Amino acid sequence: MALAEPLSEPADAQHETGGTLTIDLAAIEANWRALARQALTVECGAVVKANGYGMGIEPVTATLAKAGCKTFFVADIAEARRVRSRASDATIYVLTGCSPESAPAFIELNARPVINSMTELAEWDAFVAARDWRGGAALQVDTGMNRLGISALEAAALAPRVQTDNHGITLLMSHLACAEIPDHPLTARQIALFREIRALYRGIPASLANSSGIFLGDSVLCDLVRPGAALYGVNPTPGRSNPMQGVVELTGRILQVRSVSPDETIGYGATWTAKRASRIVVVALGYADGLLRSASASDGKPGAAAIIAGKPCPIAGRISMDLVCIDVTDLPEGAVHRGDTATFIGAGIGVDEFAAAAGTIGYEVLTRLGMRCHLIHRGA
């Protein structure tokens, strides 16, 4: 029996879903170029893990590789495979390292693990010796995150290795825990400790700065910076104006406009009560589309807002799986109709602003979007 041909996307696919997520690839490229300028003369890589922070790892990688990005960081070997399909000559580092089971794929893809423990280093050394492979690996040192990485003492003890032939260390790196918090004392301690360790690894390229770290000055830049969230529009300098361009627009289709009498409630749990005769729109977007439930509104807590007919309008009640209600009472009569759209991110609402209303950070918002929305990539 012949297999059925895969169905092609219809020309009007945007109208077959309740939500649309539009991703501006030109803005991602512009953000990378701006970060590269901020990093002065050091190399600017790109972190494209978590499916390019939800933006699509293949189109993001292709865009940045064309712009001149030569080094990419991913979470796992499956993501490395997707990056390699769009960047044939790039250097790819896998942040969660390798296991004995995944090690052969590093040769297949010409990717490099980030070694995060002495046990992992021993396993990697045994593997590359058996395969006579010289692809290299990064060595991560824990300078205060207390997450992944060898200790500073282990790094010091291991340093003589770099004086030997075929030592296999192509990058020395660490990760800042509080770079986005101005003058946090841990950041200064991490910078100082990494400087000491870096001095023991002379000749090995080093990387410390994430998105926010790029804005902390020359002492953090080292040889390679690795921005992530800032590429996708998250503000790397909280408390100051965002130097990054917005990348995403999230819109939902309005299904219905309805009237609600005073003292009637909206949605699950009856958590939001109309204080006056109100007009409510119901939008075909919910937490299954990445519209975080924590952005809901109740009588005691304002939630997020959406732009409708050019004006910000507040969410009314709990966000459900497929639907969200918006209070449009303050809009002129007849300003909104069935089939219009509500914009939750974009049109003046940044990803950080929406995240704050949801009690989270832009990183989580971005990586949750697009699970069910129609995706549009622009500026490719």
Rounded CA separation 374/19 (Å): 6
Q: Respond yes or no: is residue 232 known to be catalytic.
A: no
Count the alpha carbons within 13 Å of 6 in the hemisphere toward its beta carbon: 2
Rounded CA separation 229/214 (Å): 12
Rounded CA separation 254/192 (Å): 54
Q: Do the Cβ atoms of 272 and 298 come closer than 8 Å?
A: yes
Rounded CA separation 273/1 (Å): 58
Catalytic residue among 49, 53, 201, 363: 49
Rounded CA separation 72/46 (Å): 5
Q: Give the contacts of 325 (CB within 8 A, at least 6 positions apart).
A: 266, 267, 280, 281, 282, 283, 315, 316, 317
Angle 87-88-92 from CA coordinates, rounded to 5°: 65
Q: Give the contacts of 164 (CB within 8 A, at least 6 positions apart).
A: none
| Residue 66, SS3 per DSSP | helix
Rounded CA separation 158/149 (Å): 13
Q: Do the Cβ atoms of 213 and 199 come closer than 8 Å?
A: no
Catalytic residue among 53, 201, 232, 268: 268
Residue 367: its H or E element: helix 362-368
Q: Alpha helix (H) ranges present in 68-137?
A: 77-84, 103-109, 118-131
Q: Respond yes or no: is residue 268 known to be catalytic.
A: yes
Catalytic residues: 49, 268
